[in-house]
Structure 1
């Protein structure tokens, strides 16, 4: 029923779908193709009446390493209008998952950086393997966690987000629980079983009521509408235009430290 190049989507007899990021050789970094397919998959799963709940996970060692390197290089070579269009595609993929009218359970292993933290933040419940490392690493490149920002702030709250939003430091699964990004941690070998256990209560609930209740939580929570999304896109495009992004990304691909790095 579902066929994608960068995703695997499977559904069982109960209507529990598993949406797996499937670029394990790239640590499931988000390419332009994956971003487009995430939007398609979210819309398809949302419209499928046989689907009662969705588990979001990643194949291989990592959940999601953030943006694909080739995608980043393309953005550096693009004009501002193209950058805006491409950033909007990522923002719309996140919004499609955030407004999915089905429970969305995240099951994260390995690493979740940048956009991977954004994906964790749009889940209704996010579980992490106890070895998980997370980080909003954009400022190391002279960029900012812009398009993922509304979802990260909604999940963590401003005060907790300030602890990790700007520093690009990595943090472990235990701190991710403290920050509100994860509901809890489990041993990696128990991760998918724990995600399945999170799904079970929903299978006793009226699907329409679950969808309405989820929609209401978003109506009552922080505003994430088209104006907010466009604001984050413009903020990101402005950073792409700046000298810091040019230096940060050139340093990254040149395997050197950018000029602003101080100390060890």
Structure 2
């Protein structure tokens, strides 16, 4: 039996998905894509899971598509055809996704970073949109990267393929926080703790809100936003949160250690 390339574990409401294919720099091989997609589905369907942490073993988070598998394949047989599903799973996950990087991200790996809700990276981590350097286009990942990254920086980095560090990634909006390597666990855990304090349904609805097109003016959006707000104030989760606030206790959705 082939060893698994993606490990999945759950503790205290947190599902940790770990890419573990260091022999090929955690490249997006057919097996890794299949296992990663299955793990994301598993986390989504588990009511006990409140937050997803996406991380890795080795010195590379993800090097992008597996070029050995891509070599010689026709357009219809390229593994990149399956990649949009993974990006969409991360982007639309009703549970917040936190990416934790202690190693390099390239090409499709950067696309997954951009799809995550929150990203913490060690300062020595580097990134690159390396597609043009091998004669291909960062087409699929542009759909997650461009909404996150400063347009002028995207123009530069997509066209040059140049390597940039985690602090630059934070400056342009790709990463939330660049920290010293020995602070990576602490910084990630702090985000995870904050996310688990939010109501599950409220977090999912807020993610949808953040991804929705903005109305032309505030007045155009008020009717729909008022309806959404009132539903949550009156809903089961909102009422529990209001009671918990008044009673100075944690709401019932906060995981118990």
1:180 paired residue among 173, 178, 185: 173
CA distance in 1, matches of 2:70, 2:77: 13
5 Å-filtered alignment, 1:245-264, equals none
Q: Corresponding residue for 2:51?
A: 53
Q: Corresponding residue for 1:7?
A: 6
Structure 1: stretches of 5+ with no match in the other structure: 222-264
Deviations 1:141-185 (A, max 9, x none): 000111111101011143331120111100111111111111111
Deviations 1:227-259 (A, max 9, x none): xxxxxxxxxxxxxxxxxxxxxxxxxxxxxxxxx
Q: Corresponding residue for 1:148?
A: 141
SS in structure 1 at match of 2:121: strand
5 Å-filtered alignment, 1:16-165, equals 16-73=14-71, 77-83=72-78, 86-165=79-158
Q: Corresponding residue for 1:261?
A: none
Deviations 1:99-135 (A, max 9, x none): 1110111111221111111111011111110101110
Q: Residue 98 of structure 2 contacts residue 192 of structure 2 at CA under 8 Å; is this kept in 1?
A: yes
**What is the total number of aligned residue pairs between the two structures?**
212
CA distance in 2, matches of 1:204, 1:178: 27
Deviations 1:14-56 (A, max 9, x none): 2111111111222211111111222221111111100000111
CA distance in 2, matches of 1:167, 1:72: 23
Q: Give how far 1:70 is off.
A: 1.8
Relative contact order (C-alpha < 8 Å, sep 6+): which is higher?
Answer: 1
SS in structure 2 at match of 1:147: helix
Point out the more displaced range, 130-139 or 26-35.
26-35
Give the RMSD, CA atoms, in angstroms: 1.5
Structure 2: stretches of 5+ with no match in the other structure: 215-257
Q: State TM-score, norm by structure 2.
A: 0.78
Point out the more displaced range, 130-139 or 156-165.
156-165
Post-superposition, which runs of at least 4 consecutive aligned residues in structure 1 deviate over 4 A?
A: none
Q: Which has the larger radius of gyration?
A: 2
